Amino acid sequence: MNVTHHLLLGTILSLMLSGCATVGTSPKGLEIPIEKAAIKFSSDVKDGGYQVVNTDELKKWLDSGKKLTIISTLPSSDDKQFGTLPSAVSGPMPKSEKDLTPADKNGIVAAAGSDKEKPIVVYCGFVACRRSHLGAKVLVENGFKNVYRYPAGISGWSEAGFPVTK
């Protein structure tokens, strides 16, 4: 490779890296909140012992008629305001673990049903919302084997243009 090729390659690489540095994940360039949410999310998944499903995969599951239970962990007032994912049942969870009561735990276990092998997807409002983490963790602790957290929640589902039930 000659000097011209090295300079051209260096220039292209420099432009690519500078583009990555200025664009980032956040349209407003606010990477620190995204980083904090990503680290917390990762820690929650490890702590909770559940799996994760993304928007496109969940849509495929629903379109294919996969037998699963979908649980909204949002308060019923939020479900009424924003709608729910298709066929979702209600299993409201508090915002934090310190506010979790035995009644909350019993409610989500009841919403999940008796089949502990059936896939269960829990969701809340958005990635940083922890209601779905609490719900998924409670279900795993109660012996449910195929628990998935849908992190994008109702916000991500709506953003993708997928139908909600009101």
CB atoms within 10 A of CB 9: 11
DSSP state of 150: E
**Per-residue buried b or exposed e for 46-73, using 16+ beta carbons within 10 Å of the residue's own CB:** eebebebbebeebbebbeeeeebbbbbb
Beta strands at 51-52 and 147-150: parallel, antiparallel or unpaired: parallel
Look at residue 4 and give its three-state secondary structure. helix
Q: Considering the entire predicted model, what is its pTM? A: 0.82
Tally the domains of the chain.
1
Can you give the pLDDT at residue 30?
A: 81
User: Does some domain include residue 129?
Assistant: yes
The pLDDT tens digits of the residues spanning 87-105 come to 999 999 999 999 999 999 9
Which is more confident, 12 or 63? 63
Q: How far apart are CA 39 and CA 92, in angstroms?
A: 24
What pLDDT was estimated at residue 23? 54
C-alpha separations of 91 from 69, 111, 120, 152 in Å:
11, 6, 12, 17
CATH number, domain containing residue 132: 3.40.250.10
Q: What is the mean pLDDT of residues 144-162?
A: 96
Is residue 147 a part of any domain in this protein? Answer: yes
Give the domain extent around 92. 49-159
Share of the chain above pLDDT 90, in %: 73
Domain assignment present for residue 75? The answer is: yes
